[in-house]
């Protein structure tokens, strides 16, 4: 049906066969046709949430549903930058803000033990936990959120010495580039053999430390 609507236009031989640009609704075929802000024609299609679908001659938009949200037809017209953190997703508490990717973070400024902070983060919901850096970019964001020399993160080897497990059930290899040079060494600041919990340090690396020492922490939430 959509192809037939353009037969008359194509017959002139003046239009490219893969794209047709419009300037007004009158430039499109009849029967619910709309000239979208993208410059392409759309046609009535009840299977689309917006009720409109782009025609076959709409370039990269061809045969796609028109975005029904607002009047921009899928074009980002928000040219302003407000300088504020993105609003948290509905499934994360309002105290969380995004720093990188799709996860959200919040700093606990109160100093406490590793276990106390793990419990506090988990209390924010089933999708919240003591932050776990998956890569260097996320670790840097966690350090920035913490804003201090050391913050607790969700990694420890309390269950099996030398196996650093995350609070999400994963592990961090002892040769991971996230570790500070010489770490993990199972040596907390106050003595050897007790460095079973992990902190993020201001050099954008991680290190082991005594679990009963008190630091701020960063919680993470997956929307």
Q: Are residues 107 and 32 in the same domain?
A: no
Rounded Cα distance, 116 and 121, in Å: 9
In a domain, 52, yes or no: yes
Q: Are residues 103 and 211 in the same domain?
A: yes
Mean pLDDT, all residues of the chain: 80
Reported as a single tens digit per residue, the pLDDT across 12-35 is 444 445 577 887 777 776 556 788
In a domain, 85, yes or no: no
Q: Are residues 143 and 35 in the same domain?
A: no
- Look at residue 78 in the predicted model and tell me its pLDDT: 41
Number of structural domains, the chain? 2
**Confidence band (pLDDT; 50, 70, 90) for 166?**
very high
Tell how far CA 203 is from the center of its chain.
24
Over residues 88-116, the mean pLDDT reads: 88
Q: Are residues 118 and 191 in the same domain?
A: yes
Rounded Cα distance, 161 and 26, in Å: 73
Q: Which residues pair with 34 in a beta bridge?
A: 42
Picking from 67-71, 102-106, 120-124, 161-165, which range would have the lowest pLDDT averaged per residue? 67-71
Q: How many helices (H) and strands (E) does the chain have?
A: 4, 14
In a domain, 77, yes or no: no
In a domain, 92, yes or no: no
Q: Are residues 152 and 213 in the same domain?
A: yes
Over residues 108-134, the mean pLDDT reads: 97
Residue 203 has pLDDT above 70, yes or no: yes
Q: The domain spanning residue 156 has which CATH number?
A: 3.10.100.10
Over residues 162-166, the mean pLDDT reads: 95
Q: Are residues 109 and 34 in the same domain?
A: no
Whether the CB-CB separation of 80 and 72 falls below 8 Å is answered with no
In a domain, 122, yes or no: yes
In a domain, 123, yes or no: yes
- Look at residue 137 in the predicted model and tell me its pLDDT: 93
Could you tell me the residue range of the domain that residue 24 belongs to? 2-61
In a domain, 150, yes or no: yes
């Amino acid at each position: 049906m959509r192809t037939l609507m353009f037969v008359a236009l194509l017959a002139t031989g003046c239009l490219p066969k893969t794209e047709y640009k419009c300037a007004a609704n009158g430039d499109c075929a009849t029967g619910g046709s709309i000239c979208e802000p993208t410059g392409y024609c759309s046609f009535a299609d009840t299977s689309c949430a917006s009720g409109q679908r782009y025609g076959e001659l709409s370039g990269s938009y061809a045969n796609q549903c028109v975005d029904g949200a607002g009047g921009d037809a899928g074009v980002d017209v928000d040219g302003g930058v407000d300088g504020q953190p993105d609003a948290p997703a509905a499934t994360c508490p309002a105290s969380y803000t995004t720093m990188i990717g799709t996860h959200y973070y919040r700093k606990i400024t109160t100093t406490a033990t590793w276990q106390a902070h793990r419990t506090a983060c988990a209390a924010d919901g089933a999708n919240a936990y003591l932050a776990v850096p998956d890569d260097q970019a996320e670790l840097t964001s966690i350090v920035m959120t913490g804003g201090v020399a050391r913050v607790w993160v969700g990694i420890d080897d309390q269950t099996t010495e030398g196996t650093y497990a995350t609070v999400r059930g994963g592990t961090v290899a002892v040769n991971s580039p996230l570790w500070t040079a010489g770490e993990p060494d199972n040596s907390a600041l106050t003595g050897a053999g007790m460095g079973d919990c992990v902190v993020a340090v201001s050099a954008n690396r991680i290190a082991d430390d005594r679990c009963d020492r008190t630091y701020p922490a960063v919680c993470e939430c997956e929307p």
